Amino acid sequence: MKNNNFTNTITSIKSIMFYPSALSKKLDKITANRALQIALDNAGYSKDETKDIIITDKNDREFKIYNIRFLADDENYDYEIDMTTGRILNL
């Protein structure tokens, strides 16, 4: 059993060495909750002050993005957040 774990570890290390983008794809993605917090901070609201929060993810031609929608003070907010950088792409 220990040999299998060791072999799996070596295989994982080899895949990182030969395919470093595989590691960066796992490490360079912000969470949906972090993307929501970025949108809320930009809009000036806390999660408790909003309702009807919808978070979806999608692949654009250039970006992998979170689409975040919520309602606050009877106004709809719609954000697109880059999954890699956390940058707001569109309001």
pLDDT recorded at residue 74? 94
**Crossing angle for the helix pair 2-18 and 20-27, to the nearest 10 degrees:** 100
For residues 52 and 75, membership in a common domain is answered with yes
For residues 55 and 90, membership in a common domain is answered with yes
Domain tally, the chain: 2
For residues 53 and 73, membership in a common domain is answered with yes
Domain of residue 56: give its range: 31-91
CATH number, residue 57: 3.10.450
Are 71 and 50 spatial neighbours (Cβ–Cβ below 8 Å)? yes
Reading the block at residue 33, the tokens are: 């909750």
Write out pLDDT tens, residues 2-46. Answer: 444 444 444 445 444 554 444 445 556 899 999 999 999 999 999
For residues 35 and 69, membership in a common domain is answered with yes
pTM above 0.85, yes or no: no
Beta strand 64-72 with 75-82 is antiparallel
Mean pLDDT, range 78-87, rounded to an integer? 94
Answer whether residue 80 shows pLDDT above 90.
yes
> How many angstroms separate the CA atoms of 16 and 60, rounded?
26
For residues 50 and 20, membership in a common domain is answered with no
For residues 15 and 37, membership in a common domain is answered with no
Indicate the average pLDDT of the chain: 79
